[in-house]
Amino acid sequence: MSKVGKWFSRVVKRTKMKFYLWSKGVSIAPQYEEKPSLYEKVSFKICLKCINHKDSEFMIDPITDKRYIRNDELSIFITLSENRVDITNHVYHYSVKLTNRDWSRILFIFDKETNKRRVDMENTVNSQIKNSLNDVYERISKM
């Protein structure tokens, strides 16, 4: 095989490999670790404090996949969406983009705490069951 043939063969193989990796969603470019800025670190810590605070209220919008944290005692409202944290404290509003690592960590912690509170609420509701389903039906039928 001639030099041109070998060169062409290598180009075809590389192109096939790049297309294969691209179709699998694997980046060929070198990956650099993101270093969080000071604002990102502080925003992350604020989110953690609010998530772990007992008086915080959580909401999730299933359509937009936004997550909300509200804490009246701390006078703070946080919106989590698309790698961005929006923090409002009735005086100032901050919008900070988090690194991918911090974003996935904050979502995991938020979802874990939300699930924990949901389980606690279900246990509370189930522990208060005093009547069977037939008793409830009979009571409603008498009205």
Which of the four pLDDT bands, split at 50, 70 and 90, describes residue 37?
A: confident
Residue 80 is predicted with a pLDDT of: 96
d(CA 63, CA 76): 24
Q: Are 73 and 66 in contact (CB under 8 A)?
A: no
Beta bridge partners of 70: 57, 77
d(CA 40, CA 46): 10
Whether the full predicted model's pTM is greater than 0.85, yes or no, is no
For 38-77, what is each residue's pLDDT tens digit? 899 999 999 999 999 999 999 999 999 999 999 999 999 9
d(CA 25, CA 122): 40
Residue 137 is predicted with a pLDDT of: 85
Please compute the mean of the pLDDT values over residues 88-94 and round it to a whole number: 91
Which of 22-26, 79-83, 110-114, 117-121 shows the lowest per-residue confidence on average (mean pLDDT)? Answer: 22-26
Higher pLDDT, 17 or 120: 120
Which of the four pLDDT bands, split at 50, 70 and 90, describes residue 30?
A: low
Residue 56 is predicted with a pLDDT of: 95
* Mean of all residue pLDDT scores within the chain: 87
Is residue 98 classed as helix, strand or coil in its secondary structure? Answer: coil
d(CA 98, CA 83): 5
d(CA 115, CA 86): 22
Q: Are 58 and 68 in contact (CB under 8 A)?
A: yes
- HSE of 36, CA atoms in CB hemisphere, 13 A: 17
**Can you list the positions of beta strands (E) in 28-100?**
57-61, 66-71, 76-81, 84-88, 93-97
Q: Pull the structure tokens for residue 86.
A: 């929006």
